[in-house]
A and B are shown apart, each in its own frame.
Chain A
């Protein structure tokens, strides 16, 4: 079993090779650089260094969002094309779940991974480890950080926040949640592609042709069009 994991869904670019329960190699950067230029060379370099060729691969796992629309499409397009042409199973994993998996494995409480979504909004969800397995408590969603914090304030358990974009929201979270909030170390904010590979390792392959990113949001034009259409049919 040799799994190739690809994550270009946010600023971090990640590639990993997981083989027979051993991480062969990982490549991660946290830079505002062009994923389209760098991801294929990163895959090529990692595979070459690990002395693996495309024919050795047995599964492709990709971060399917939420995140940057363009970023997630680059990773998903490459993953789909590789999986289809090499006739491999393709598994998509939530970009937030990868972050949650990379931290909090030994944390007794909820994990809230997050990415900034501008105008005070965040992409987030709620996860927890139970018997060593990551479980989803609240699905991935897009909402105002203040609304999310208000919701979490009701929770009985402490919450571990993780993600590079915490620097934008940390003060607000501290203000709203006080001691209930814990923050991951800066070394844990980059989603680990090896966690992505591991999360996908025991999942069934999905239909490759119909595989698409999880954008969470409709395209703006589509949302407006549906709204206008709804108005006409309702009124």
Chain B
């Protein structure tokens, strides 16, 4: 009889100190997140040095909480998985070094995980993945379309050339004098307004799956400034709705085109911006009549940074035989295609 597999995952790439334990690749045995958002709000964004300091304060508390939630001891774990990158280097270093200390102390395999692979695999906690598939990754640092033909194999078919979608949200929110993080505020405001302002859509060259949001961001800022100079008032709800409509239209259209071209069975949505109500509704509408493709969007708690996603991706990597030694370093610019083999 095969024993259950337990993977402990650690995630510290940005401003959440997170530890989770996943059973048999898909079941959450523990999922603990210590968020620093209240601390960073004071600065209007994540301050790397402050984030690193908070991770040191939280790390053993969060590990202990995860083990007690799962009612497990280290002896029962199969491996320690940790986010190797990308992310803030000082922040990543805390998770990486804690993971190495645990692996050494208990003589457990150490499995390095790509943060975005984690976001994509959060979907496996909802439903089994059906390959081939396309994942739309949208977060504060990333906007990508990733094609997967099988477990643990990632092909980036499109990515942002400038700002990530989440970054554009935060900058536009700042223009509208909203507190950090701006994404949820824009989303909420957009529900109250209508997209009456004409803003650009960056389709880029014919057939490209890449994204660009800096032009849109500038257009929003210009619209606000021009209105101010003319002494006019733009309803912030309408501006938020117009901005959101532009972002979502490009994301959804490019995803639809990739789904058709690659003939996939599933569309996965991943990353913090997947929490956006407007995006969820637009994707649901776009794929409602397509019975060949299953659309999967994780619940909010699995869209934002967490360690359950790292442990579940770690489970697949563990089975593929991917291991790191005690010299594992934080890798802030880690490429997702590195473990394709």
Contacts and interface: CB of A to CB of B under 8 A. Distances in A.
Interface of A: 34, 36-41, 43-44, 54, 69-70, 73-74, 76-78, 80-82, 84-86, 208-210, 212-213, 215, 219-222, 225
Secondary structure dominating the interface of A: helix
Interface of B: 42-43, 47, 49-50, 52-53, 56-57, 59-61, 63-64, 74, 90, 93-94, 96-98, 100-102, 104-106, 325-330
Given A70-B93, A82-B101, A219-B47, A36 B52 contact: no
A220 B60 contact: no
A85 B101 contact: yes
B61 A82 contact: no
Given A34-B329, A73-B94, A85 B52 contact: no
A231 to B, nearest CB: 15
Given A40-B97, A54-B104, A80 B53 contact: no
The 6 A-B residue pairs with the shortest CB-CB distance in the complex, in nearest-first order: A81-B101, A40-B326, A219-B49, A221-B47, A84-B60, A77-B97
Contact of A36 (B47, B49, B96): B96
A38 B52 CA distance: 20
Given A70-B90, A85-B74, A209 B60 contact: yes
Contact of A212 (B57, B98, B106, B325): B57
A219 B48 CA distance: 10
A212 B326 CA distance: 23
B90 A73 contact: yes
A151 B96 CA distance: 43
A100 B210 CA distance: 57
Contacts of A213: 56
A187 B98 CA distance: 32
Contact of A81 (B49, B50, B63, B328): B63
A77 B57 CA distance: 9
Contacts of A210: 57
B47 A43 contact: no
Given A78-B101, A221-B50, A44 B326 contact: yes
Of B47, B59, B61, B97, most buried by chain A (CB within 10 Å of CB) is: B97
Contacts of B98: 77-78, 80-81
Nearest to A40: B326
A231 B56 CA distance: 30
A36 B101 contact: no
Contacts of A78: 97-98, 100-101
A210 B59 CA distance: 10
A82 B94 contact: no
Nearest to B57: A212
Contacts of A86: 105
Contacts of A82: 101, 104-105
Of A34, A85, A222, most buried by chain B (CB within 10 Å of CB) is: A85
A221 B104 CA distance: 35
A156 to B, nearest CB: 40
B97 A37 contact: no
B306 to A, nearest CB: 20
A40 B101 contact: yes
Contacts of A219: 47, 49-50, 53
Given A54-B104, A81-B97, A222-B50, A73 B56 contact: yes
Contacts of A74: 93, 97
B97 A208 contact: no
Contacts of B47: 219, 221-222
Given A36-B96, A77-B94, A221-B43, A85 B50 contact: no
Of A44, A77, A208, most buried by chain B (CB within 10 Å of CB) is: A77
Contacts of A85: 63, 74, 101-102, 105-106
Contact of B52 (A39, A69, A80): A69
A159 B135 CA distance: 65
Nearest to A43: B104
B12 to A, nearest CB: 10
Contacts of A38: 327
Nearest to B64: A84
A173 B50 CA distance: 34
Contact of B104 (A40, A70, A73, A222): A40
Contact of B100 (A40, A54, A69, A73): A40
Nearest to A42: B326
A213 B326 CA distance: 23
A203 B97 CA distance: 25
24 contacts: A37-B329, A40-B100, A40-B101, A40-B327, A41-B325, A44-B104, A54-B105, A73-B90, A73-B93, A77-B97, A77-B98, A78-B101, A80-B56, A80-B60, A80-B98, A82-B105, A85-B102, A85-B105, A85-B106, A209-B60, A210-B57, A219-B47, A220-B49, A225-B42
B119 to A, nearest CB: 24
B43 A225 contact: yes
